[in-house]
Amino acid sequence: MAALQPASVIAVIGSGAMGSGIAQVAAAAGHTVKLYDTRAEAITVALAGIGTIYSKLADKGKMTHAEAEAARARLHAVTSLADVADAALVVEAIVEDLDVKRGLFAELEGIVAQDAILATNTSSISITAIGAKLRRPERLVGMHFFNPVPLMALVEVISGLATDAQVANTVYDTAASWGKNPVHAKSTPGFIVNRVARPFYAEGWRLLQEQAADAATIDAVLREAGGFRMGPFELMDLIGHDVNYSVTRSVFEAYYGDPRFTPSVLQQEMVNAGFLGRKAGRGCYRYGEGAQAPVV
Ligand code: NAI
């Protein structure tokens, strides 16, 4: 099966950091995109943000102003899930919670066409488990983008035990047609990147808790000597500590409490406090007042 053609409607459920990036990329690739969120203001913020980014890309000559306007015009806010009935592909990017995701897909199954593909951007939850309660679990697949979506080429296309290979191939080809670099993977806890990345974050927290150095020093060392684009703390601030912590918890639980994946209690406290990173103005660093002073 080939990539979905630009005439296919794409629905994006959840208009936060990831959903808005996915919508931006899909509309730029020529699709009509329907954006939904339980918080109407999240859609408003997402659409305004995408419009600004398209304008900046046009100013820089990366697309023409006419292309920017056309892409923006292909993005539509929808206020009810029933409005995504004509979607050929639904990409879910809501809260990282199995029951909430299952509930959403159960509802979507009653709305979209028989041949529509249901994709989840989950960071770590089993694709098999998300699909298990569906009438047709074979059409549920992982389509895991990375943050920030427009800049990160990698997309993990994840098959659960019931996922139809044709569905995974269509999503793979569609991601490629959007300029992404997809890889196929089986549904294992954390998939490829989030599994390999767990020790990066965990050892960062352990170093911090043992007072080896502060967050800024650890980040600088990993960037400058380690060759990473970002150190663990600045990366977690970008990802969001709520998201990062729930991914660690789900990998830890999926591996029966393997101590390698033990979540950090310090990060748990940061989530409790609402210090979620850039999106909250405060995480391991403070944002919005000039220099980024480390908090931890
Ligand atoms: P976010 O918190 O920025 O956005 C989530 C949005 O979903 C919010 O606007 C919220 O109002 C909305 N939402 C929550 N429940 C909903 C529901 N039942 N129906 C419709 N909308 C609902 O979160 P973010 O960072 O965009 O993450 C979304 C998903 O993407 C999660 O599953 C996360 O694990 C995954 N992910 C996140 C990455 C990151 O770096 N932040 C990277 C890759 C995947």
Q: Which domains does the chain have, with CATH numbers?
A: 9-186 (3.40.50.720), 195-280 (1.10.1040.50)
Residue 40 identity (one-letter amino acid): A
Beta-bridge mates of residue 77: 35
User: Quick check: is 144 catalytic?
Assistant: yes
Pocket test for ligand 1, best of 39, 83, 95 (most atoms within 8 A of CB): 95
CA of 278 to the centre of ligand 1 (A): 15
CA of 92 to the centre of ligand 1 (A): 8
User: Quick check: is 194 catalytic?
Assistant: yes
The confidence score (pLDDT) of residue 1 equals 56
Q: What is the ipTM of this complex?
A: 0.99
CA of 109 to the centre of ligand 1 (A): 20
Mean pLDDT of all residues belonging to the chain: 96
Per residue in 27-84, pLDDT (tens digit) is: 999 999 999 999 999 999 999 999 999 999 999 999 999 999 999 999 999 999 999 9
CA of 243 to the centre of ligand 1 (A): 8
Cα–Cα distance measured from residue 227 to residue 216, given in angstroms and rounded to the nearest whole number: 15
CA of 17 to the centre of ligand 1 (A): 7
- Nearest alpha carbon to residue 142 among 96, 177, 107: 96
Among residues 8, 15, 92, 144, which one is catalytic? Answer: 144
Q: Which two tokens stand for residue 5?
A: 């053609």
Integer CA distances (angstroms), 21 to 25, 59, 76, 91, 149, in order:
6, 19, 14, 12, 5
User: Quick check: is 241 catalytic?
Assistant: no
pLDDT at 291 over 60: no
- The reply to whether ligand 1 has any atom less than 6 angstroms from the CB of 190 is no
CA of 184 to the centre of ligand 1 (A): 22
pLDDT tier for residue 296 given thresholds of 50, 70 and 90: confident
Per residue in 211-267, pLDDT (tens digit) is: 999 999 999 999 999 999 999 999 999 999 999 999 999 999 999 999 999 999 999
Question: Which ligand 1 atom lies nearest to the CA of residue 14?
Answer: 7
Pocket test for ligand 1, best of 12, 13, 15, 18 (most atoms within 8 A of CB): 18
Integer CA distances (angstroms), 61 to 48, 54, 66, 143, in order:
20, 10, 11, 30
Sheet with 140-144: list strands edge to edge.
75-77, 33-36, 9-13, 87-92, 117-120, 140-144, 154-159, 181-186
Cα–Cα distance measured from residue 17 to residue 170, given in angstroms and rounded to the nearest whole number: 24
User: Quick check: is 31 catalytic?
Assistant: no
Question: Which ligand 1 atom lies nearest to the CA of residue 239?
Answer: 40
pLDDT tier for residue 290 given thresholds of 50, 70 and 90: low
| Phi and psi, residue 127, nearest 5° | -65, -35
Among residues 96, 109, 156, 234, which one is catalytic? Answer: 156
Among residues 15, 121, 123, 250, which one is catalytic? Answer: 123
- The reply to whether ligand 1 has any atom less than 6 angstroms from the CB of 92 is no
- State the distance between the two ends of the chain, measured CA to CA, in whole angstroms: 50
Question: Which residue in the block uniquely carries the two structure tokens 């046009």?
Answer: 58
Average pLDDT in the 272-292 region?
88
Q: What percent of the chain has pLDDT over 90?
A: 96
Cα–Cα distance measured from residue 151 to residue 161, given in angstroms and rounded to the nearest whole number: 30
